[in-house]
């Protein structure tokens, strides 16, 4: 049911924890399944993500997508991080079962929420970034998986 990569990121998650005085923090959830994901970003003066951590309350797929998403944005600019999609996270994990696709949406939205928080704190606009949803289940059916 789950790929080896999903199992690896679930059993050995990368970047777990919090960043004190984070540049940006994004929290999103899914009211339907109860998953909650929080992403912490440490962004330097050149808008490069130097460190990223996560805390996730949810199923194994939610932990795995959080872990993979943090790996995908670490070392990237905020603009590059904005381009990490739920589809890219799923592909990096060699796929997810259809009933777990919403976990990758949580990861994408949590990154966007953390970037939004960073932009708000620094009074900047990140091109292409819109205000994130705090509950992805509201618009889940509309999403293009």
Residue 124 sits at φ, ψ, to 5 deg, of -125, 165
pLDDT digits (tens, 9 = 90+) for 17-56: 999 999 999 999 987 888 999 999 999 999 999 999 999 9
pLDDT digits (tens, 9 = 90+) for 94-135: 999 999 998 999 999 999 999 999 999 999 999 999 888 777
Distance CA 73, CA 7 (A): 20
- What are the catalytic residues? 33, 103
Distance CA 112, CA 116 (A): 6
Q: What pTM was estimated for this model as a whole?
A: 0.90
Pair 114, 43: CB distance under 8 Å: no
């Amino acid at each position: 049911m789950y790929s080896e990569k999903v199992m690896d990121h679930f059993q050995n998650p990368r970047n777990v924890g919090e960043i004190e005085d984070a540049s940006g923090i994004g929290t999103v959830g899914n009211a339907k399944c109860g998953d909650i994901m929080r992403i912490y970003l440490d962004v330097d003066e050149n808008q490069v993500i130097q460190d990223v951590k996560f805390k996730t309350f949810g199923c194994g797929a939610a932990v795995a997508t959080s872990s993979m998403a943090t790996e995908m944005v670490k070392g990237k600019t905020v603009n590059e991080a904005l381009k990490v999609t739920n589809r890219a996270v799923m592909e990096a994990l060699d796929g997810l079962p259809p009933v777990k696709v919403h976990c990758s949406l949580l990861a994408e939205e949590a990154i966007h929420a953390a970037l939004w928080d960073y932009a708000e704190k620094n009074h900047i606009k990140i091109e292409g970034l819109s205000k994130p949803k705090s509950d992805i289940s509201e618009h889940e059916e509309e999403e293009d998986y």
